[in-house]
Structure 1
């Protein structure tokens, strides 16, 4: 009996051993087939101080048109704005003067002239800052409509034409009234008329077009969302669906004095015909803009040579105000002062450059590819997680939506084998900050005995304009964007002889 029991025990032990061997063999086969090794080498990134041409930012030129029944205009040729010499600009401020129709509706002829102007400028590829006004001479009271209702009719008349060119019209400045269209020296700012005019524009102008008012105090009066704090409650820019989310600022007295020539609160602010009891000191208004203008554009022109627009002070305030566009011609005394200033600091990228070039290159957003890494466990992970860090060294964010994707390109064939949309909103790549995002890369699908090395590229695009966004890196972009790094993929190398 003992021997029989011993044989039975041996059989069980042998069976267990056989099962364990089979399990180990199956496990080894599974591990070998599932094992995937990834070797990632990031690109050697280097920041560039060169000028780059991106939409919605930089210096702008001004063109003015006076509507009249017998008016003829010299209009630009297609692609003249950004495809010619280096003195051309992405942005153009188009001023359309309605003075001759101050107390009557715009005629069909006048409306046709507006259409022709916007059509011609759209064909240049320039992004348009648009301003309707009744005065170019600082004599607005002599030319603006007497009745508010007439201005409202003009807004209703031009709305459909402006909306026709919404892909090119970036910002509509002002509410038609004031000297030079700057919302001062007008009878239509008090008693709720300012709010009525901006609300009409909000109703008739395509929501993708930003609106703007002259001062932060006006913004707060209109929006009424600051709740006794020094900072506005700015909505996230997911949908441009409310007035607050698309109402920016334009400051044509920028850096001109302690109160930006009446833009902020003190005695000089009384020169602007509105309620300035809500205007704050310069320090508080700069803090207000620092918050607000992460979400909506701010720009204008610098004036009057003084200590506030000395280079170092100017850079500090332009950065805090998140300024993205400036007049290329005015004030020449200030601009020339910047041209004569040489940048000296600790950053070799900018040392020796003129202050003018430094400021021009920092207007708006300016993205720099900074670093990247890829995390992948050879056994347990299904996808590799690519992490990319970008610095926005510009004065402001980008305010229009952009599309960002990573392209996986075969080193063997040069073909793109995968395009991976990035779950990030470049509008939230804040100025003066670094932003990181992760991108899942299906590395297991990339292994091929003949083709197992790839280059990863990052491309950022404005799909509305069909434009690639340029980065401030020394590398030259390709059709797939900027090189991020190289990836090599291989599977486990174990072999088994089953003979």
Structure 2
């Protein structure tokens, strides 16, 4: 770690400011680290009205450094009747146990556990989904993703005894699942062809459609015969074309896998190529056992373990190490995703300033970035000025980066926070990534004098706030058109007279331009963003006033 002194000329209105900055170079780790919503999983199957989860089972999963389980429920007892209250209670208790134990689930329901074994009529499936709706809505926090299930043998959408595997019935059931599952969660179907037929479309999702919570943007894939033959035992009809489709599609929707047989295509070299190509997030750790054993014997299992899903590591950072209250902390951090995939459920990136001597004093600044766009093998630079308000006591502070869960019940649980793959940086008590810099907050010197910085606050409201959450004092209406070409109009409403600034940032958090900087009267207003000089992509519109800020996502397509 080294410290450098830099000069900054603000404008003719300000003198030259000198402040100390610390340059930190981070060291990566090859450790298998526990992280939510990714990696190898263990499957736990429950038959009707039995098999309730225990904390012992959850702890056994965590002892393998796994954060996921496939929770598989068979409803054989209810082929022609409603789910019993006992069955619903078991499911709720299981969710409670997951939450208490610190893991999430891949969720599947089915009736048939083999070819030729009966599933349920369509009317019963739809009724069961209605019964499950309240459970799914109340427990989305511990659901990573839901597999479509219900239809045919093992819920894999074939061999139905009730005709559920017709294209028409598949569409009805998938539409119903998307209706009862919260829009913040995605569904996985067994093959790419199933989704293509249901949505009458063979082209992959585009950037502008990504993470929009529309039905088509919420459907991913689970391959239950991954790298088991050229076409993965019928998973693909046109193998090359459909894998190329998944390569683009799965930037934005999750795909997971289970192996089911051995072949040369499951050898280490090809397995890792396919995982990277398809952006694999998870794999069953126990099946097919000979394939997993082969990876272990041939030495690729540790790399696969580390790279399934996302794996973020900090590379280097430049930070103010002395900040005068009222000035802004310079925050510049370069990070990389070395995993095969990304985060698919929404998270915030939050900078934390925590007093060293009184650790109860902690202050938070949510960055206007979306970690779901930190793609595999990409390097991202976060660069912001963050005001240190006068209300923050003087003293020395540690600086952290936190990616907490957004759910109220999980946001303070470190087991659900994202750990970066660096040495000596993880605070396992708080769930923070230490940026290895001490910031002195004082009344004398240091920091930047800039207009409209972000700001630290002494509560967690900044962490909890989503892009569409808006303070009572103002409202940003979605820009129109969106997506847009060349220019778009941004509508916003102010409930009281105040000074307003509206700025545009790119998806990496770099400030591009200021659209509004003036006193605004209460009422409705609009401004125009002309993007012709920028590349196609996701942009963030941030509105600042004395009461806080709000963020809206803009999608620009040339």
TM-score by length of 1: 0.76
- 1:339 is displaced (CA, Å) by 0.4
Separation of aligned partners in 2, 1:131 and 1:444: 48
- Map Cα deviations across residues 13-42 of structure 1 (whole Å, 9 max, x no partner): xxxxxxxxxxxxxxxxx9999553112122
Residue matched to 1:256: 228
- 1:371 is displaced (CA, Å) by 1.8
- Map Cα deviations across residues 148-187 of structure 1 (whole Å, 9 max, x no partner): 2222222222222232322112222124012111111122
Residue matched to 2:435: 483
CA contact (8 A) 1:163 1:205 kept: yes
Residue matched to 1:469: 418
Residue matched to 2:279: 322
- Map Cα deviations across residues 235-279 of structure 1 (whole Å, 9 max, x no partner): 554542x211211101101011111111111xxxxxxxxxxxxxx
Separation of aligned partners in 2, 1:410 and 1:65: 47
**Partner SS state of residue 63, structure 2:** coil
Separation of aligned partners in 1, 2:360 and 2:21: 19
CA contact (8 A) 2:25 2:315 kept: no
Residue matched to 1:178: 152
**Paired residue total:** 420
Q: How does 1:59-74 map to 2 (within 5 A)?
A: 59-67=40-48, 71-74=49-52
- Map Cα deviations across residues 102-121 of structure 1 (whole Å, 9 max, x no partner): 23333344434433444444
Residue matched to 1:43: 24
Residue matched to 1:437: 382
From the two aligned structures, give the one with the greater strand fraction: 2
Gaps of 5+ in 2: 1-10, 447-558
Quick one: which of 181, 201, 204 aligns to 2:180?
204
Separation of aligned partners in 2, 1:302 and 1:445: 57
- 1:432 is displaced (CA, Å) by 1.6
Residue matched to 2:553: none
Residue matched to 1:303: 260
Q: Which moved more, 1:361-370 or 1:413-422?
A: 413-422
Residue matched to 1:144: 119
Gaps of 5+ in 1: 1-29, 266-279, 343-354, 493-499
**Partner SS state of residue 313, structure 2:** strand
Residue matched to 2:111: 134
- 1:338 is displaced (CA, Å) by 0.5
Change in CA separation of 1:74 and 1:206 when aligned onto 2, cut-off 3 Å: closer
Separation of aligned partners in 2, 1:31 and 1:291: 49
Change in CA separation of 1:486 and 1:35 when aligned onto 2, cut-off 3 Å: farther
- Map Cα deviations across residues 449-479 of structure 1 (whole Å, 9 max, x no partner): x86x765322221132223210000123234
CA contact (8 A) 2:211 2:217 kept: no
CA contact (8 A) 1:76 1:124 kept: no
Change in CA separation of 1:235 and 1:303 when aligned onto 2, cut-off 3 Å: farther
**Partner SS state of residue 336, structure 1:** helix
**Partner SS state of residue 199, structure 1:** helix
CA contact (8 A) 2:61 2:67 kept: no
- 1:193 is displaced (CA, Å) by 1.1
Quick one: which of 278, 292, 297 aligns to 2:249?
292
- 1:288 is displaced (CA, Å) by 1.4
TM-score by length of 2: 0.68
Separation of aligned partners in 2, 1:191 and 1:113: 32
Change in CA separation of 1:162 and 1:445 when aligned onto 2, cut-off 3 Å: closer
RCO comparison, higher one (Cα < 8 Å, 6+)? 1
- 1:360 is displaced (CA, Å) by 1.1
Change in CA separation of 1:33 and 1:110 when aligned onto 2, cut-off 3 Å: closer
CA contact (8 A) 1:286 1:317 kept: no
Separation of aligned partners in 2, 1:211 and 1:433: 26
Q: Which moved more, 1:254-263 or 1:81-90?
A: 81-90
From the two aligned structures, give the one with the greater helix fraction: 1
CA contact (8 A) 1:42 1:486 kept: no
Quick one: which of 218, 233, 237 aligns to 2:206?
233
